[in-house]
Amino acid sequence: WCHVMAHESFENPETAAVMNRLFVNVKVDREERPDVDDVYMAALQALGQPGGWPLTMFLTPDGAPFWGGTY
């Protein structure tokens, strides 16, 4: 599903422009960084959301997760 989300969402020039204007976007490969995946998957579940991938997580400027979801 990661490649589907990338194609349907992030390859859209209008979506990319909004994302780049409003956010600092970071893509993490969960297989290369399972430690990062573990932190944000736990945060997503603590927010009451079901786990899964691809995971999108929104963080405060100091790195605290406050909202997330899956595709």
| CA–CA separation, 17 and 29 (whole Å) | 22
Q: Is the pLDDT reported for residue 1 higher than 80?
A: no
What's the pLDDT score for residue 59? 96
Q: Report residue 13 as tokens.
A: 């020039």
Q: How far from chain centre, in Å, is Cα 48?
A: 16
Cα distance between residue 47 and residue 58, in whole Å: 12
Residues 38-67 have a mean pLDDT of: 95
- Condensed to tens digits (0 to 9), the pLDDT of residues 4-45 reads 888 888 889 999 999 999 999 999 999 999 999 999 999 999
The pair phi, psi for residue 14, each rounded to 5°, is -70, -45
pLDDT of residue 7: 85
pTM for this prediction: 0.81
| Domains assigned to the chain | 2-70 (3.40.30.10)
